Amino acid sequence: MRGLEAAVRAVLDRRLRRSGPPLAVALSGGGDSLALTLMADAWAHAQGRELVILTVDHGLRPESVTWTERCAGLAARLGRRFEAAVWTGEKPTTGLPAAARSARHRLLAEATRRAGAKVLLMGHTADDVSEAAAMRAAGSTTPSPREWSPSPAWPEGRGIFVLRPLLGVSRADLRSWLEARGETWIEDPANDDPRFARSRARAAGAPWVEPVDEEPPLALAALASEAGGVISLPRSALAAASEPEVTRLVSLATVCAGGGSHLPAASRVARLAAALRDGDPVVATLAGARVEADSAEFRVFREAGEARRGGLADGIRPCVWDGRFELHGDGPVRRLAGAARRLSPTERASLRGLPPAARGALPISMDDGAARLLAAAETPSLVGARLRAAAGLIQREPD
């Protein structure tokens, strides 16, 4: 079992800084997350780092309150800070596992941010990789868990990364490790409920699948620049790149610049990527973003004419506006579209560096009929950082 602990420590050493802000770990009380929490606690103690234990109560079973109490008890035993988040509101009658997963990621991301952490540890194992493969073979779109990735919750997960150090470890080995330590864990009856695809895959004994290789960083994205929410790239870089690279860039750039939370349809991305590689002028809209390309430059930015999507327009500051800008100041914010003439001459001149079609989607404030562009300090753009994270250009805990 020492080999198991050494393997997990090696992942933590490779992905995490020796010193830094608090580290968050998601604990459900099940065997996988319990083993991860104990190993993360030992690693954090060795590094002198704070560990915050987070639990989500989905409110789907009467035992959930007791489960949360058990998680709180473990945190107290370890002397670690603890927070429990509750999934409130009506639950869907169909697609419950996907909705619960989405809510869990959102709540964990919010709690991770409150804790001051940038990395959330989650206890997916090699068995989860195999079960996800079996589910896809049966027609599901469930993705395979990856060792390192940005939080899938947007905008709640902005700047937060998820690390899964147990992907090379089997569920059975983790339970043997826990038993050797005299630990007990929660068994969720939902894991045996045949209504759910993952439960069926688990019951059928999903064949072993090697953990998915990490998707290599998208070097093409490293050539991109971003200002005012506009992603730019030399057209020559697209011509020199492979078709899969251009396709991946288009998919990521449009969702990041558009401020949404879902990647566009693969068929539409493929058609647009092919047109961009051909070299002819291109104007298109996709995932709430406008794509423009001439012979010199490829640009992606928010389509000003579409309704706001994918962001939190209101709430306690800082919050996210239109899925693209983080608001720190006070007062209402709106799009520039229709109010450009109310800007001062100096501010109108400052817009000349942006594509004309991109200007209407910029955030402004209004005061006595006069419009004011919000400065970057008040509303920093999230677009460039989001693209770098999604493209895999950040491979370990950021500074």
pLDDT tens-digit series, residues 326-347: 988 778 888 999 899 999 999 9
Local confidence band at 211 (pLDDT 50, 70, 90 cut-offs): low
CA 329 to CA 312: how far, in whole Å?
15
Domain spans, the chain: 2-203, 216-399
Q: What is the pLDDT of residue 305?
A: 78
Asked if the model's pLDDT at residue 312 lies above 60, the reply is no
With a CB cutoff of 8 Å and minimum separation 6, the contacts of 234 are 223, 296, 297, 298
Q: Which ranges in the chain belong to alpha helices (H)?
A: 2-15, 31-47, 64-78, 96-114, 126-137, 171-180, 197-203, 219-222, 235-240, 243-258, 266-278, 345-350, 356-359, 383-390
CA 357 to CA 340: how far, in whole Å?
12
Residue 29 annotated as part of some ligand binding site: yes
Asked if the model's pLDDT at residue 239 lies above 90, the reply is yes
Asked if the model's pLDDT at residue 316 lies above 70, the reply is no
H/E stretch holding 85: strand 81-86
Residue 350 annotated as part of some ligand binding site: no
User: Can you name the CATH fold of 2-203?
Assistant: Rossmann fold (3.40.50)
Residue 30 annotated as part of some ligand binding site: yes
Give the tokens for residue 210.
Answer: 């090697």
Name the residue with higher pLDDT: 392 or 331: 392
Asked if the model's pLDDT at residue 310 lies above 50, the reply is no
Asked if residues 55 and 83 have their Cβ atoms less than 8 Å apart, the reply is yes
Asked if residues 207 and 134 have their Cβ atoms less than 8 Å apart, the reply is yes
Local confidence band at 357 (pLDDT 50, 70, 90 cut-offs): very high
Burial 350-373 (b: 16+ CB within 10 A, else e): ebeebbebbbbbbbbbeeeeebeb
Mean residue pLDDT across the chain: 91
**Stated pTM of the model:** 0.93
Q: Which of 189-198, 304-313, 317-326 has the highest mean pLDDT?
A: 317-326
CA 238 to CA 231: how far, in whole Å?
14
Question: Mean pLDDT, to the nearest integer, of 38-53?
Answer: 98
Local confidence band at 26 (pLDDT 50, 70, 90 cut-offs): very high
Q: What percent of the chain has pLDDT over 90?
A: 72
CA distances from 334 to 260, 371, 375 (A): 18, 10, 14
CA distances from 47 to 17, 23, 42, 387 (A): 9, 11, 9, 31
Asked if the model's pLDDT at residue 315 lies above 70, the reply is no
CA 348 to CA 338: how far, in whole Å?
13
Asked if residues 44 and 13 have their Cβ atoms less than 8 Å apart, the reply is no
Residue 32 annotated as part of some ligand binding site: yes
Burial 238-277 (b: 16+ CB within 10 A, else e): beebeeebbbbbbbbbbbbbbbbbeebeeebbeebbebbb
